[in-house]
Amino acid sequence: MIPPGDRGLTLGDGLFETVLAEAGGLVDLAAHLDRLIAGCDVLGLPPPNRGVAEAAMREALAEASLEDVRAAVRLTLTAGSGGRGLDRPEALAPLLVATAAPAARPTTPARLIVSSVRRNEGSPASRLKTLAYLDNVLARREAQIAGAEEAAMLNNRGELACASAANLFWISGGRLFTPHLDCGVLPGIVRARVIAAADRLGRPANAVHAGPDALAGADLIFLTNSLIGLRPALLEPGKRLIADDFFAALTSALGAG
């Protein structure tokens, strides 16, 4: 049970990672823990022990009877309880919790809108998976109300940043583009793998500052995160999916096909 005074619950003071469990393995676990520990350094939180974190995740899978199926394992680290108001206690006692749930791979393109909810590129939190995800929740809700599944988020400068729960890529004129990290972008695990795969294919990704018109004129848009892999997206309304050999090659290179 999470105590009522836990700072993650009351203030969003903490971090999380969502890891894909597949065929009994925790995919890209080291990279996820690296990002979590780097986030702890930014927030001034004691980092979790890697072995303890992995054991908690495997225990969550076992308790949910999901060891042999495709599942999402969420690892949540809070700053623990104590302190007054915004002030943390002198001695932090972080709380580490792991949960698991089934995670089927999407088989259809995501319907995408451009959200009115802005990403604050000036905040350190925009580049971390903090527990304060309300802007993302509101963007996803806006998409669902519009009959879509995902929302592309712009930053305060009007530049593309990300989707509510994914990194954003597009292919235009045979070239691969993605928002620059300083647009308020989370450095995604799969994002990094796509960029590396594009380099290996001799067609490097371009990290750019671009407005929403870039999506409207793109040949293909796709989203990435650890659970969906590479998922094509259709910008609503009226866009159709166009087959793209470069996207197929990236998907194959990442073993997602």
CATH number at residue 207: 3.20.10.10
Q: Based on the structure, what is the number of domains in the chain?
A: 2
Closest CA to 130 of 81, 52, 191, 184: 184
The pLDDT value recorded for residue 257 is 40
Whether the Cβ atoms of residue 93 and residue 81 lie closer than 8 Å to each other: yes
Q: Does residue 2 sit within a domain?
A: no
The pLDDT value recorded for residue 106 is 93
Between CA 67 and CA 159 the distance in angstroms is: 41
pTM of the predicted model as reported, rounded to 2 decimal places: 0.94
Q: Does residue 1 sit within a domain?
A: no
Q: Environment class of residue 140 by beta-carbon count within 10 Å: exposed (0-12), middle (13-18) or buried (19+)?
A: buried
SS3 content of the chain, % helix, strand, coil (to 5): 30, 30, 40
The pLDDT value recorded for residue 34 is 98
Q: Environment class of residue 45 by beta-carbon count within 10 Å: exposed (0-12), middle (13-18) or buried (19+)?
A: buried
Separation of first and last alpha carbons in the chain = 39
The pLDDT value recorded for residue 210 is 98
Q: The domain that contains 93 carries what CATH number?
A: 3.30.470.10
Q: Environment class of residue 141 by beta-carbon count within 10 Å: exposed (0-12), middle (13-18) or buried (19+)?
A: middle
From the first residue on, what is the mean pLDDT of each consecutive set of 10 residues in the chain (257 residues)? 91 97 94 98 96 98 95 97 91 96 94 97 95 96 96 98 98 95 97 96 96 94 96 80 84 76
Q: Does residue 225 sit within a domain?
A: yes
Between CA 201 and CA 195 the distance in angstroms is: 10
Q: Does residue 218 sit within a domain?
A: yes
Residue 24, domain extent = 7-102
Q: Does residue 115 sit within a domain?
A: yes
